[in-house]
Amino acid sequence: LDTLEKWVTEIFSEIPNNGLPKPSFGHLTQPFDTPEFHKLYRVVPIRKVHSLSITWALPPQEQYYRVKPLHYISWLVGHEGKGSVLSFLRKKFWALALYGGNGETGFEQNSTYSIFSISVTLTDEGYKHFYEVAHVVFQYVKMLQKRGPDKRQVIWEEIQKIEANEFHYQEQ
């Protein structure tokens, strides 16, 4: 850790600090509150892959950077085991994969908003039933909202262990 700190200091010490505060865009109260963002858009794919992406614009989450609530929700949504959204959709032969998350980049997470998306890779049959697929996703999110995080301590600890292992055993 001392070596890393030394390297960072050497590399970045030449960059001047202008002393300015980071810009805030808090005055833009609801940047996505227009009719264009409350619609279903169908896009013809280049490859024969069907996917359904549902995106929410949320209040800024940067104040929660230590606990990462969107990361936690990503784990819940992306779970693939028994009782998961993906497991249900696979049983109906509607989906091949599901990803939920937030890239934590400047575009997806900043002082104005945070973006959270759930993308489902659909089978041909799932494409025919994409309204039902969307309904399942919305029902799952609604269930998470009702149950809240209080009974999820075990999951949180599991996430911490997995991420610690990934960090400690990553390739050099």
Enumerate the domain spans of the chain. 48-168
- Mean pLDDT highest for which of 8-17, 31-40, 121-130? 121-130
Average pLDDT, the chain: 86
Quickly count: other Cβ atoms within 10 Å of residue 68's Cβ.
Answer: 16
98-121 average pLDDT score:
87
Query: How many helices (H) and strands (E) are present in the chain, helices listed first?
Result: 6, 3
Q: Which residues have CB under 8 Å from 58's CB, separation 6+?
A: 70, 113, 114, 115, 116
146: phi > 0 → left, psi -120 to 50 → alpha, else beta; which? alpha
- Residue 54's beta-bridge partner residues? 118
∠ CA 76-78-82, nearest 5°, is: 80
Residue 36: CA atoms inside 13 Å, Cβ hemisphere, count? 2
Radius of gyration of the chain (CA): 20
Residues with Cβ within 8 Å of 35's Cβ and at least 6 positions away in sequence, in order, are none
* Superfamily classification of domain 48-168: Metalloenzyme, LuxS/M16 peptidase-like (3.30.830.10)
| Average pLDDT estimate for 96-113 | 85
The stretch 123-134 carries a mean pLDDT of: 96
**pLDDT of amino acid 152:** 66
pLDDT at 52 over 70: yes
Q: What kind and span of H or E run contains 2?
A: helix 2-12
Which whole number is the average pLDDT over 126-132? 96
Question: Does the pLDDT value for residue 15 go beyond 80?
Answer: yes
The top-scoring range by mean pLDDT among 22-26, 79-83, 152-156 is 79-83
For residue 158, which amino acid is it? E
